[in-house]
Structure 1
Amino acid sequence: MAFTFKPYTPAAKYKTAAAYFSMEFAVDQALKTYSGGLGFLAGSHMRSGFELKQNLVGISILWTFGYYDQDRDAEQSMRAEFRHKHYSFLEDTGIIFPITIHGADVQVKALYLAPEVFGTVPMFFLTTDIPENDYLSRTISHHLYDPDSAARVAQSILLGVGGGKLLDELGRKTDVYHLNEGHGLPLAFYLYEKHGRDLAEVQKRLVFTTHTPELAGNEERPMKLLTDMTFFGSVPEEEVRRVARIGHGDTLNYTLTALRFARKANAVSKVHGTVANEMWGHYEGICPIIPITNSQNGSYWRDPQLAAALKAKDDAALLARKQELKKDLFKIVADQTGNVFDPNVITIVWARRFAAYKRADLILRHFERFVELASSAKHPIQMIWAGKPYPKDFGAVALFNEIIKRTAGLKNCAVLTGYELGLSAALKKGSDIWLNTPRFPREASGTSGMTAAMNASVNLSIADGWIPEFCRDGENGFLIPIVDVTLPDNVKDDSEATALLDVLENSVLPLYYDQPKNFLKVVKTAMKDVEPEFESGRMAREYYELLYKA
């Protein structure tokens, strides 16, 4: 039977037909098509779009091996395992069509995630891993963020051109195409060809979200590689150079090109809005960049019993539920590490994607002081780390393993593997303090602290990303003072590591142990303040109001 696309009837104020292209989506623990914060954000967007009944579809790639499964080797160090994933809940649409990669036809199959499965807008996942393709073509959709440059370019073509063509195959009239990051940039050239090579016609339809506040994180590829791979479709190289304004340059920057092809773009926090305009504003031909702060879906993330206790102003119920959630988390800690944690001891969690600028080990930088503080008889600490490094980021993998080694003898410290949606939720619900230590201003948004705050975990953070819009020091969270950004990294790290331990020793621990009612007041203020401003219904509405409407 032929696939017919008939989603729900959209709400009148969201009738503009939009399509959201993202390399990764974290919509449910069962669907492993994400690596980190970009996917968590995209997943929350799809859930809130469904709750608001927006006329939106999600487009992504079905990764045969997911990102990776994070296990341990015999020495307890991290090991990346790649296992074939199967999903019975994805519907085979029967739609197969060709796209051109490296001058040859590659067949693309579309699978459908219906709204009722996980409570998302309708979503389509593209794969090349089908018998109609040769082996090399099949591998394009094997690994999220494949380390091989040609494979990465092919993945971008699959997302951008494959997604654009799928919408045409479905016969869906799409008013707005939304690129989440530059990965799907070939969509811009697909639309350019479709609309008679008229840039203004593309700009009427394309919007863009930029996430990365450092030049190195914005994808850039040699023009020769892109041309050889048919990245630009049938648009001649000279025309690409003219319309993308790259002249005789050797490389093409995905973000800059997207900013030139889009009508409007958004940064992902107010701080990032300033940074992004400083980064790109001096280039000619770019679209306006406005801030729309990232946020997370409350109905997916918040614990219903904690929320009910807050609403009922029942402090006893809130505290009792928090103890239960801590015990649930500590079962995972004991199972993975053999360490038995105490629910009466303050528990600090650092959990997010492992990358050097996020400084997972900042709290350990002055190690003797940390150990002395953590093992205090009066104000003890329990500390948990979790997160997935990119498997080929050997520095980040080494840091993960170094934290395991350094804390191996400390029974009040644990490093957990398998940081996916399920573990992320358990950590947010079971922690008292959510620690965030990026080098300012390199965290564009950061969203994990939002879902921690929803679950009675207080942010202790550098004032970067979304934090300056939310945190009032000592009222609904705790700020770590930052030093002059022009100082060398090692000087900044030393100073901010000291500041972090000072805030813990002088503010957080005395409040938690000696003034529990005042600590609870901070917890409840954070729970109230985080919604609705940082719940993704607000973000999904703003996308329509500020980005999608012409």
Structure 2
Amino acid sequence: MDFKNFQMPYSINPQYTKKAAYFSMEFAIDQSLKIYSGGLGFLAGSHMRSAYNLKQDLVGIGILWKFGYYDQARNHDQTLQPTWTKKIYSYLQDTGIKFQIDIHSAPVWVKVWYLDPEVFHTAPMFFLSTDVPENDHISKTICHRLYDANESTKLAQYILLGKGGAKMLDMMNFSREVYHLNEAHGLPAAFYLLRKYGGDLDQVKEKLVFTTHTPEEAGNEKHSFEMCYNMSYFSGFSKEEVKALEGGDDPNMFNHSLCALHMARIANGVSELHGHVSRAMWGKYEGICEIKSITNAQEFKYWADKPLYDAKDENDDTLFDFRKKHLKKRLFKTVADQCGKLFDPKVFTIVWARRFAGYKRADLLLADKERFLRLLNHPKYPVQIIWAGKPYPMDYAAISTFNTLVEESKYQKNMAVLTGYELALSKLLKQGSDLWLNNPRVPREASGTSGMTAAMNGSVNLSTDDGWIPEFAQHGANAFVVPKADYQNMSVYDQDNYDLEKLYEILEQEILPMYYEKPDQWRKLTQKAMDDVKVKFGSDRMAAEYYTLIYQ
């Protein structure tokens, strides 16, 4: 293939001819391609699969992380140990394209790798690497670790993604009408385009669209303005020009999301609730673009268990129940392997699995220890609980939460904490759970998509009313939801206590009696969730909406 004059490798669906490039720090495409950390990557991976399904004129641009995010191992006492292993991918093609970009006022070589659409059924994808012999050691390490803890390395990664990705398209003579930033990491692409168009912001706005995933201002990335400037983030524009574009009120900090909202033609939040929260949050700034809502979704074909859907569609309850038990047994082999515990497929199984972050409250159920032990040792309604997820390797509070759960699990035969939460384990957990527990502090979860893929595998959601849940959940009919309180006027302590009380109430009084005493009703609820999630929260719908609502 001639990458210097790249052409889309499949014929384009006439509905999706707008030429788009999708920039993301991470993509969860396949278990073997470890270039993702969590939800943002899972979402981007599903988007790339749906772009392929719909034959859209879209390419994905990311970074080839040499060590990935990290590999989750254990210390001798079972606690968390992050390890970094060099990754090798024989199925990526060397494009032969190499070029230089300025990072920290010095030229850095960038090499481009290609993932053919037929390998994993995705849009064509390009991955950038600085790990080449021509670079010095520091430049090589830019693409080593996803979300590196070092601030200047992290900024260099954003520059590589944005400026490197935009320049790559020029090197390939591959013109794009839309530059889609999935989160603000790729924002240097906007400054690259601004330089290319001689400072004409209108020309940049014509091309730039932005998806924000963060529902609170403090969570949006801000870095030292001086450092960003010294790192060559702004493609040579003066400090005054950049500050005028960004429109922030802190002269010492650069707010990436705010600048993206000023430079993009249109932006979107990732659920109806998040769109509403974002408009309220950013509305105080003048001159920002319109913020719409496109609810996140996951690709049905990749995630859903087909035999389970077949049994449901054929109204074969016996086969449906048999398949679900089979999926539970499969997961429990991993539990036995990792933890030396033998779980029972007849027992109600709860899973909490996602990125470990403070607001997601992994250990909320344990806040009332007495009640937690009562739940685990209930004589009439037995329960098994599994946790999994990767804390950020430098987030010591989250690691401590993980290790606290590990420590508690040593004393409970029906409680397990698994390591290696990536695509493969995620799928196993969704297939093998009866209940998917999701209890973030409202309104801090922009979307949260793990519950969608759980529902696609016959696992029922129990959730606080945040992110995508208000658009999906009908309490007692397809999910269970903690009723919203007046969270804005509650302290964090009161909010946690309220949610904890409601979670236990729903579990003890509604969920467990239904599962054990009314299995037909439970099956009906599970199957309604499977029906309700399939189209509305399948990423083909989402990828189509990006074209109709944002790109066009």
2-structure distance, mates of 1:221, 1:362: 32
User: Which residue in the other structure is 2:206 paired with?
Assistant: 204
1:158 aligns with 2:160: yes
User: Matched residues in 2 for 1:103 and 1:357: separation?
Assistant: 38
Q: State the SS of the aligned residue for 1:520.
A: helix
Partner of residue 338, structure 2: 336
Amino acid at match of 1:321: R
Report the counterpart of residue 518 of structure 1 in structure 2. Answer: 521
Superposition map of 1:102-501 within 5 A: 102-246=104-248, 249-485=251-487, 486-501=489-504
Match of 2:485, SS state, is coil
Question: C-alpha distance in 2, partners of 1:28/1:114?
Answer: 13
Distance 1:357 1:259 in 2: 25
Give me the TM-score of the superposition, normalised by structure 2: 0.98
Cα distance between partner residues in 2 of 1:315 and 1:202: 56
Q: Does 2:540 match 1:537?
A: yes
Q: Compared with structure 1, are the counterparts of its residues 329 and 248 closer, same or farther at alpha carbon in structure 2 (3 Å cutoff)?
A: closer
Separation in 2 of the partners of 1:83 and 1:451?
A: 29
For 1:397 and 1:99, the matched residues in 2 are separated by 36
Distance in structure 2 (CA, Å) of the matches to 1:282 and 1:245: 11
User: Is 1:92–1:110's contact at 8 Å kept on the other side of the alignment?
Assistant: yes
My pick for the range that moved more, 218-227 or 490-499, is 490-499
| Letter of the 2:87 counterpart | K
Q: How far did 1:314 drift?
A: 1.6
Shift of 1:247: 7.1
Give the SS at the match of 1:163.
Answer: helix
Moved more, 243-252 or 376-385: 243-252
- Give 1:493 deviation, angstroms: 1.1
Q: How much has 1:252 moved relative to structure 2?
A: 1.1
* CA distances 1:76-106 after superposition (whole Å, capped 9, x unpaired): 1010000000000100101000000011100
Please give the root-mean-square deviation of Cα atoms over the aligned residues, in Å. Answer: 1.0
2:434–2:459 Cα contact (<8 Å) kept = yes
State the secondary structure of the residue aligned to 1:70: strand
2:355 corresponds to which letter in structure 1?
Answer: R
Q: What letter matches 2:207 in structure 1?
A: R
- In 1, the alpha carbon distance for the partners of 2:68 and 2:244 equals 38
In the TM superposition, residue 215 of structure 1 has moved relative to its aligned partner by 1.8
Q: Residues of 1 paired with 2:390 and 2:441: CA distance?
A: 19
Q: How far apart are 1:245 and its partner, in Å?
A: 2.6
1:52 aligns with 2:54: yes
User: Distance in 2 between the 1:527 and 1:144 partners?
Assistant: 34
- 1: distance between equivalents of 2:258 and 2:436? 34
The CA deviation at 1:243 is: 2.6
Instruction: Report what 2:85 is aligned to.
Output: 83
Q: Return the alpha-carbon distance in structure 2 between the equivalents of residues 61 and 390 of structure 1.
A: 19
Paired with 2:498 and 2:270, the residues of 1 have a C-alpha distance of 28
Separation (CA, whole Å) in 1 of partners of 2:248 and 2:533: 42
Give the partner amino acid of 2:518.
Q
How big is each residue's C-alpha offset from its partner over 1:387-445, in whole Å with a ceiling of 9 and x where there is no partner? 00000000000000011112221000000000000000000000000000000000000
Q: Which residue of 2 aligns with 1:17?
A: 19
Residue pairs, 1:33-72, within 5 angstroms: 33-72=35-74
Opposite residue 5 of structure 1, the aligned amino acid is F
- Matched residue SS, 1:25: coil
Match of 1:548 in 2: 551
Contact 1:48 1:536 survives alignment (8 Å): yes
Structure 1 residue 248, shift from structure 2 partner = 7.1
Displacement of 1:487 in angstroms is: 1.3
Asked if the contact 2:158–2:188 (Cα under 8 Å) also holds between the matched residues in 1, the reply is yes
Residue 230 and residue 219 in structure 1: after superposition, are their counterparts in 2 closer, same or farther (change >3 A)? same
Whether the aligned pair in 1 keeps the contact of 2:247 and 2:285 (CA below 8 Å) is no
- One-letter code of the match for 1:45? H
Greater alpha carbon shift after TM alignment, 211-220 vs 480-489 = 480-489
Matched-pair identity in %: 55
Indicate conservation of the 8 Å contact 2:246/2:255, yes or no.
no
Residue matched to 2:98: 96
- Count of matched residue pairs: 549
- After TM superposition, give the deviation of residue 5 of structure 1 in Å: 2.7
- Measured against aligned partners, the alpha-carbon deviations of 1:438-469 in whole angstroms (never above 9, x if no partner) come to 00000000000000001000000001000000
Matched position secondary structure for 1:157 = helix
CA distance in 1, matches of 2:250, 2:243: 7
Moved more, 190-199 or 351-360: 190-199
Post-superposition Cα deviations, 1:278-301, rounded to whole Å, max 9, x if no partner, equal 110110110000110000000000
Unaligned runs of 5+ in 2: none
- How far has the Cα of 1:482 moved from its partner? 3.6
| 1:323-352 deviation line (CA, Å, top 9, x unaligned) | 100000000000000110000000000000
Question: In the superposition, relative to structure 1, how do residues 246 and 271 fare at CA in structure 2: closer, same or farther (>3 Å)?
Answer: closer
SS for the counterpart of 2:445 is coil
| CA–CA distance in structure 2, aligned partners of residues 5 and 168 of structure 1 | 11
Residues 161-207 of structure 1: CA distance to partner in whole angstroms, max 9, x if unpaired? 00000011111110000000011110110111111211111111000
Partner Cα separation in structure 1 for residue 376 and residue 243 of structure 2: 57
Equivalent residue of 1:20, what SS?
A: strand
Q: Secondary structure of 1:83's partner?
A: coil
8 Å CA contact 1:145–1:152 kept in 2: the answer is yes
Residue identity opposite 2:538 in structure 1: E
- Residue pair 2:245, 2:259 contacting (<8 A) in 1 also: no
